[in-house]
Structure formats: structure tokens, C-alpha cells
Chain A
Amino acid sequence: MATVSEGRLAVAMFEEPAAVKPWHEKLRDMARKQPVGVAGAIIVVLMILMAVFADVVTPFDPLQTSYEYMLAPPDGSFLFGTDMLGRDVYSRIVYGARTALFVGFTAAAVGGALGLVLGVSSAYFGGLFDLIFQRVMDVFMAFPLVIMALAVVSILGTGTENVILAIIVPFVPRCARVVRSSALQIREIPYIDAAKACGFGHTRIILRHMAPNVMAPFLIMVTAFVGQAILTEASLSYLGLGVQEPTPAWGLMLQGGAEEFAETAPWVAVFPGLAITLAVFGFNLFGDALRDVLDPRLRSSQ
């Protein structure tokens, strides 16, 4: 850790405090340094706003069917057209953001938290525990994410809660593996030995002294997980194993009727597809920028 010499400290004490930049200037600086990340953040924020204020920004009930307007093309009344049951595609996409974000954030948060605790614990205890735990994680990680999620959903059944669980299961080992590698370095730092010498319990050392120091890779990981979770949820729903009709969900909107009507009513498939792409793109950009900001090695190289 860098230390500050007494002389320099004295100078610093008598210097004028640096002027605090207004928020818009900070934002401009950030946009200049991380333009791609800011674009990602804007997409994410817009998506969150859309989900929160869905009932305000949509003209129709997303579940309301209408015989008269089945497969109506996009126009002034129906911004993105209607689907085969006459439901407004725009309203369903906006409400679909709720489903996507709910699944994405919940799966990423819970999966990430479990992975954090397990990864740090594995690094902290080491030895036989670490060895066995890592082999178990190896088994889980041997399955591609979607395959593992498919297996879980096949056992538990469909529905939003089960989809979240299905995404959490493959997330945990992936997060635990990344966190463990960072935590192994932390474990070797003397302050951990000092904490042990002070008689602190394992839980306190893991949660208060080790976990906060692996937050940077953890946050990057979790942000990327949100995008992956949205994609996985859409994949499962597309395969008919995720959330069920009539719940507005992007993957579900691409299934069934969309396949059947894709040629003559392309808006039924195009807009949900764009929504998925944009959401995953936004979270990935944001995650990359976060990594650039939080990873000290990347920060120093800039």
C-alpha cells in the first residue's frame, strides 16, 4: 500500500480543495472515457424504466386479445403490430422487460451471492474442502449453461420460479470459480493472518474481510450474468420450458405463432428478437465497461 510522507501530507492539508465537478461534467468525462459502457448503461437504464413504468408507457393491456386486429401490421395504433391473437406486440415487449429483468436480476443476484460465498469459502479453507468442492464445481461446469438449465427445468417443471432456479444452478459454479481465484490471492495477504490471530471466526473473516475485497470481479461477473440470464430465460421460453402463455416474455413471443407467421407477419418475430438482442447487448457493454473501471490492471494500462 502506498504511504504518504508527512511533508506531502502537510502540503495537501493546506491546498485548496479540488473543485467538485457537476454531475453532467462527470457524466461527460465518463462518456468520453467509456463511451461504449455509457451506451450500455443507457440501454440498461431505459430497460429498467420501461419495466417499472410499463403500465404508463403502454397503450394496451398486454394480455388483451382482439379478434378484429389479429396480425395487424405496425401502424399508428399498434406501434409494433399485433400477434396472432390480436395482442399489441409493443405492450407485450414492454411488459416482457419486467419478466426479463425480474428473472435476470434475481438469478444473477442469488446465483452470484451463492457463488461469492462458496468461492471465498473454498479459497479460505483450502485443503481437502477446496479440492472436493472444486471437483464438484468441475462437474457442474462440464455442462453448457443452457443444457444444465434445461435439465433443471425438466426435473422441476416450467414456470417463472423454476426458470430462475434453473438459471441459478449453472451460475453458482461459474461465479464461485472466478471469485475463488481472486480470493486465493487475498488469503495470502497478512491481514487475513492478523484477523485469525485476533481470534475472529471463519464467518467474519470470509464475509467481512475477504468477500469485500473480491467485489470488483464479482460485480463484473454479476453484470454479465444478468445478460446471460435474460438470454437463457428467452431460450427456455422459446423451447416451451420457461414462463408460460399468456405471460409477456420475449422468448415466448418468438415461439409457436411467431415461427408460423414469421414470413407473412415478420413483426411478430422481429421485435421480440430485437428486444432480446438489445438487452443482452446493453448488459454486456455495461459489464465490459465496469470491468475496465474496476479492474486495477486494466485501469493502470489505460
Chain B
Amino acid sequence: MSAMKTSFTRLALAAGLGAAVAAGGVVAASAEEPKTGGVLRLVVAGKIPSYDGHRESTFAMIHPIRPFYSLLIRVNPDDPQSSDFICDLCEGDVPAPTNDGKTYTFKIRQGVEFHDGTPLTAHDIVATYNKIVFPEEGILSNRVSRFAMVDAISAPDDHTVQFDLKYASPGFIPMVATPFNFVYAKKDLEQADPDGKDPQYGMKWHQSNINGTGPFVFVEHQPGSHVLGKRYEKYHHEGKPYLDGFKAISAPKMSIRIQAIRGGRADIEFRGFPPKARDDLVKALGEDITVQESAWNCTFGYAGNQTKPLFQDKRVRQALTLALDRWGASRYLSKIAIVKTVGGLALPGHPVAADEETLKSYYGYWPDIEKSRAKARELLKEAGAEGASFKIWNRAVDQPYKAVGTWMIDQWRQIGLNVEQIVVPTGPWMAGLRDPEQEGADVNIWPSCQSVVNPIVDAGAWISKARAADNRGHYEDAQLDEWYDQMQREGDPAKQAELYRKFEKRVLHDEAHFGQILWWHKINPHRSYVKGWKIAPSHYLNQSLDQVWLDVSDEERKQRTMDELGG
């Protein structure tokens, strides 16, 4: 398979992203011959909000549902740490742009069928991307703002798709490779409501129905229990998938997921375990467990809700960030939580990421924490906010939310602030983040997990609320908006990095809109017989499972297939 190497592949990510490491043994370079058959059992923490990838943004949907779908292009599953993109439903190489970088033309693979037998054509791709990029009113498309560069999508013939951009953008191809961009059948999207009530019935059909071209066919979903899929015999990547099926088992509590792997009732968990769980599993299972680790394309931070008077004063926001001992946390908090790396807005190791010297010039990153806290107290005094009281709006998930939230409270206590924590389940938490008036949402915990490493586009999270629905500080900042737009259009990587630096400094230091704490660190211990899966810098990536196989005896693979799929 050939791969297009975008400008992002020049990333010196190897150091920052980290190589996959193995505790039970080095991850095999996989010269082994894959074995066919068997059922993979994975454990998943969250509930599936809907099956519609265009609408959702959670691993709880991706892990059980992604194997039913294909993408137009995807991150190379053999090298997911890089940003090599390869064709999935397109043919040949990922196309280079023409028309001064403003036109991308994809040749669509022929002979592909949806699971219901419908042949795939370019019109299905166009209908899919029209839903993602130009959603009808009332249809939620989670990443619509990141496709701002797209002007039009068309199908000159049944096997060609053309994207016309408003301006050349290096962020376009990584956005197309986003694993949430499931390709749907046009006829499914256009179908009419049998009851004649909902004119958008087809656009909503995938929220509760599944029909893709992925390596596995949907068998059943028992909410609270599992999702089951079986091999799609007509899958377009020859010889794959290797598995007969997969079973995604719902296990909300981390201790249950760990014990499931330890006790041999599950083979793998794709989101990530804390270091302690890794150590326990390695100690208990030795060679039977393999650990893959990676940097994780997830920021973990917070934002003062700027609709509340206390946080309208930037000195208070600056004091909050100055109080946090990030360097100490990186050494110690990383022992108990899935966070590790000190960084700015871009994933450490990426060409636009701030180096250590630059970081140490920002508020909150000074190496001398006592000096930093003295400055914080001074700013609070100037702002008349000494001893101020407020609440943190946090999510009822241990890792890393509650662990880091509790640490933040202690850090802020040390500059005399009186902080409480409101911990609520995911649904109310998300609702509270969106609502600037939410009682108790004074400081919002603000994680931002992305899939493909694409910091120029992902900086859109920190622009004005009017343009970024996921802005958790509820602020407006025209300067940031302007720099962001310039970054998207800038073709020169050096100038782009320069703009990014100004943007980052304003977000983290000058205005302190956002307090980045630590980048997440991904640890995936799994049973050593699970082969073919390689860790990516995101828990959303490389989840089609078409590469995965089980290095167990023929009898055991057959038995698993019998047990889960009935033969």
C-alpha cells in the first residue's frame, strides 16, 4: 500500500508520541502469519449515545461501532503513530491537491458493497460529506467548523469525488481521515419516514441503525451489555478481517475492566489504563500481557466561565494558571493518573508545539513554583479577589477528571482560594459545559481529545464562543479568531508556526482563557495473544479491527466463535 505523506508526516513525533513499548515483551514487528478466526472481546467504559459517527465525539461510540464502517481515507493502521494517510474507500494514493491546493479528486474503489448489498458509488461519498460539512438545520454534525475550508463536494461520475476548497488548507486531508467520518449509503440518508412525520428521517436514520461497508456486520446491541459484530465476507480489503467477529462488552467501572482482562474474560481495552493498573496487570500476568504506550492527543485543562464576574478579570485567570505546579504534577501525578506531559496547545513533539524554553516563559509554566504562586497572590490582590470562592464543574469519571480535579483544588488552596468541586455524570456535565448560566460551573474542566494530530485546525477549540460551540470559557476574542483564520490559509509552515505561537501565548498567558494542565498519556495493556493492533496517539484512531488477529490455538479460536456467534 502506498501512503501519502502530508506535511504532517514530517513531524518529529517519534520522541513526543513515544514508541510503543511492551512490558511483557516487545510488541512484535509482526512478521508472523496472521491466523484467521475467533472473536475479539474488548471492554468499553462508556455508553453509546447514538450510532451516528458524524454526530458523536466519544470513544464509547467509536470502539464498538467503527468496525461496521469504512472511511474515505484513514491513518495507516501499520503506522498509526505517523500521519501517513492511506486510501480506504478510495483507490491508489491519497490525492495531491490541484488548482493551487484548492481541489482534491478521489477515485472511488469499485466493487464495494454496503452490508445490505447496495453498491458503493461516489454519490454515497458526496451524500456523506454533505451531511458532515453542510448539515441541514436541526442535524448535528460535530466537526462542521473544522471543515470551514470546504466550498463544494461533487461527483463528476460514479467513481470520482471532488472536493473544492475556498482556500488551500493543509488541515483538509487530516480532517477527511477523521475516524468519525463514517461513509453512509445515499439511499439510507434520503429515505422517507414510513410514518410520513419527520422530513429529516433519513438524516437521522444512522443514529439508531447501522449499514456500512466496514470489516464487520452488525449482529446485535444489548444496551448495558454488549455490541456484537461478525466478519463481513465481502470486505474490500482482501483477506481481512482476520477475526470472525468482535464483542464490545460494556464495563463502566475501571476496576471491572481491569479484572476482566486479568481474569481472561476480555482481551483488550482501547481507551487507556492508569500506570498502576498497568503495573498490576504486568505483575499478575507477566508474559501474558503486552503493554503499548503512547503520547495521547488529548489536552486536559480548565477555563474560567467568563460570563461570571470573577473570571472576567484576566488577572484572576492568570492567577489560577500561575498556581498550578505543572512540572511537579508531570513527575508525580503521572504515577496515579493518565496524564503526563507538560505542554502548550499543540501535542508535544509536533513542529508547531512550544519547546520547553518557550513554555517556561508562560504564566503557570515557570520552573519556580513558589515565585509563580507569589505572583498569583499579587494578581489576586490587585484584582480584589483574595480568598475568592468558586466551584469546579467536573465529570464523574475517575481518570483523569476526578484525580486531576482534586489536585487542582489543593493547588488553588495554596494561593488562598476557596474551591469546591461539583462532580456530575457525563450527560449533565456536558449540558452544564454548554450552559453559561449553569450553577456551579464557575470553572469548567475542559478536556479536548482529537483524533488525527492536526493542531492548526484543532486550535479552533479556543476561538470565540460565537464560532466554537465547544468553547468552555464562554468568551469572545476577535484577535484569536483573526489569527486562527490566518493560520488556516497560511501555506508557509514557518509562518504558520509563528502565528500558532502568538495564538497560543494569548490563550495560555496574555489572556489566560484556558489553563492547559497536562497532556494525557495512553497506556494499553492487552493480552499478548492479541496481534496486529498498534497503538495510535488517539483512542479514536485505528479502531476498524480489520488488522487484528488472535494468536491462540485453532481450537480456542473456534470455541470463541461458537460461544459468541454460534458457529
A residues near B (Cβ < 8 Å) are 63-65, 67, 70, 84-85, 157-159, 240, 244-246, 256-257, 259-261, 263-264
Contacts of B406 in A (CB 8 A): 85, 245-246
Contacts of A85 in B (CB 8 A): 336, 403, 406-407, 410
A215 to chain B, nearest CB (A): 39
Interface of B is mostly: helix
Q: Does the CB pair A63–B413 fall under 8 Å?
A: yes
Contacts of B255 in A (CB 8 A): 259-260
Known: A157-B424, A245-B421. A260 touches B277 (CB 8 A): yes
Contacts of B407 in A (CB 8 A): 65, 85
Known: A85-B336, A244-B423. A63 touches B277 (CB 8 A): no
Q: Does the CB pair B423–A240 fall under 8 Å?
A: yes
A56 to chain B, nearest CB (A): 21
Complex formed: what's the CA distance from A85 to B396 in Å? Answer: 18
Q: Is B280 an interface residue (CB 8 A)?
A: yes
Contacts of B335 in A (CB 8 A): 70
CB pairs A–B below 8 angstroms (17 shown): A63-B409, A67-B331, A67-B332, A70-B335, A84-B403, A85-B336, A85-B407, A245-B405, A245-B421, A245-B423, A246-B409, A246-B421, A256-B403, A257-B336, A259-B254, A263-B280, A264-B276
- Provide the B397-441 mask, 1 if CB < 8 A to any CB of A, else 0: 010001101110110010000001111100000000000000000
Q: Does the CB pair B403–A257 fall under 8 Å?
A: yes
Contacts of B254 in A (CB 8 A): 259-260
**Besides A85-B410, A157-B422, 4 other CB < 8 A contacts?**
A67-B328, A84-B336, A85-B403, A260-B255
Contacts of A157 in B (CB 8 A): 422, 424
Complex formed: what's the CA distance from A84 to B335 in Å? Answer: 9
Q: Does the CB pair A264–B280 fall under 8 Å?
A: yes
Known: A65-B407, A85-B407, A246-B409. A256 touches B423 (CB 8 A): no
Q: Does the CB pair A256–B402 fall under 8 Å?
A: yes
Q: Is B245 an interface residue (CB 8 A)?
A: no
Q: Does the CB pair B409–A260 fall under 8 Å?
A: no
Q: Is B473 an interface residue (CB 8 A)?
A: no
Q: Does the CB pair B421–A244 fall under 8 Å?
A: yes
Complex formed: what's the CA distance from A157 to B429 in Å? Answer: 12
Complex formed: what's the CA distance from A159 to B402 in Å? Answer: 15
Contacts of B253 in A (CB 8 A): 259
Q: Is B274 an interface residue (CB 8 A)?
A: yes
Complex formed: what's the CA distance from A288 to B284 in Å? Answer: 46
B41 to chain A, nearest CB (A): 22
- Residue of B276, B421, B424 near A261 (CB, 8 A) is B276
Q: Does the CB pair B331–A245 fall under 8 Å?
A: no
Contacts of A246 in B (CB 8 A): 406, 409-410, 421
Contacts of A67 in B (CB 8 A): 328, 331-332
B148 to chain A, nearest CB (A): 38
Q: Does the CB pair A70–B423 fall under 8 Å?
A: no
B237 to chain A, nearest CB (A): 39
Complex formed: what's the CA distance from A63 to B420 in Å? Answer: 12
Contacts of A263 in B (CB 8 A): 280
- Residue of B274, B336, B410 near A70 (CB, 8 A) is B336
Q: Does the CB pair B420–A244 fall under 8 Å?
A: yes
B410 to chain A, nearest CB (A): 5
Contacts of B403 in A (CB 8 A): 84-85, 256-257
Q: Does the CB pair B410–A256 fall under 8 Å?
A: no
B271-313 residues with Cβ-Cβ distance < 8 A to A are 274, 276-277, 280
A87 to chain B, nearest CB (A): 9
Q: Does the CB pair B410–A260 fall under 8 Å?
A: no
Complex formed: what's the CA distance from A158 to B332 in Å? Answer: 29
Known: A158-B424, A245-B402, A260-B254. A63 touches B410 (CB 8 A): yes
B442 to chain A, nearest CB (A): 14
Contacts of A259 in B (CB 8 A): 253-255
Complex formed: what's the CA distance from A246 to B419 in Å? Answer: 10
Q: Does the CB pair A260–B276 fall under 8 Å?
A: yes
Complex formed: what's the CA distance from A67 to B325 in Å? Answer: 11
Contacts of B276 in A (CB 8 A): 260-261, 264
Contacts of B280 in A (CB 8 A): 263-264
Complex formed: what's the CA distance from A245 to B421 in Å? Answer: 7
B77 to chain A, nearest CB (A): 31
The closest CB in chain A to the CB of B280 belongs to A263
Complex formed: what's the CA distance from A260 to B268 in Å? Answer: 18
B413 to chain A, nearest CB (A): 7
B405 to chain A, nearest CB (A): 7
Q: Does the CB pair B421–A260 fall under 8 Å?
A: no
Complex formed: what's the CA distance from A263 to B407 in Å? Answer: 23
Contacts of A264 in B (CB 8 A): 276, 280
Q: Does the CB pair A256–B398 fall under 8 Å?
A: yes
Complex formed: what's the CA distance from A117 to B550 in Å? Answer: 67
Complex formed: what's the CA distance from A261 to B409 in Å? Answer: 22
Complex formed: what's the CA distance from A116 to B115 in Å? Answer: 66
Complex formed: what's the CA distance from A261 to B398 in Å? Answer: 13
The closest CB in chain B to the CB of A83 belongs to B336
- Residue of A158, A257, A260 near B423 (CB, 8 A) is A158
The closest CB in chain A to the CB of B258 belongs to A260
Contacts of B331 in A (CB 8 A): 67
B430 to chain A, nearest CB (A): 15
Complex formed: what's the CA distance from A66 to B274 in Å? Answer: 19
The closest CB in chain A to the CB of B325 belongs to A67
The closest CB in chain A to the CB of B398 belongs to A256
Contacts of A244 in B (CB 8 A): 420-423
The closest CB in chain B to the CB of A241 belongs to B396
Complex formed: what's the CA distance from A266 to B420 in Å? Answer: 28
B548 to chain A, nearest CB (A): 28
Complex formed: what's the CA distance from A72 to B254 in Å? Answer: 23
Complex formed: what's the CA distance from A84 to B403 in Å? Answer: 9
Complex formed: what's the CA distance from A159 to B274 in Å? Answer: 27
Known: A157-B424, A257-B403. A245 touches B332 (CB 8 A): no
B357 to chain A, nearest CB (A): 24
B19-61 residues with Cβ-Cβ distance < 8 A to A are none
Complex formed: what's the CA distance from A265 to B409 in Å? Answer: 24
Contacts of B396 in A (CB 8 A): 240
Complex formed: what's the CA distance from A186 to B465 in Å? Answer: 67
Complex formed: what's the CA distance from A199 to B280 in Å? Answer: 75
Contacts of A64 in B (CB 8 A): 410
Complex formed: what's the CA distance from A152 to B254 in Å? Answer: 26
Contacts of B274 in A (CB 8 A): 260
B4 to chain A, nearest CB (A): 42
Complex formed: what's the CA distance from A240 to B332 in Å? Answer: 25
B65 to chain A, nearest CB (A): 27
Complex formed: what's the CA distance from A259 to B447 in Å? Answer: 24
B393 to chain A, nearest CB (A): 11
- Provide the B245-272 mask, 1 if CB < 8 A to any CB of A, else 0: 0000000011100000000000000000
Contacts of A84 in B (CB 8 A): 336, 403
Complex formed: what's the CA distance from A123 to B369 in Å? Answer: 66
Complex formed: what's the CA distance from A244 to B406 in Å? Answer: 9
Q: Does the CB pair A245–B328 fall under 8 Å?
A: no
Complex formed: what's the CA distance from A56 to B405 in Å? Answer: 28
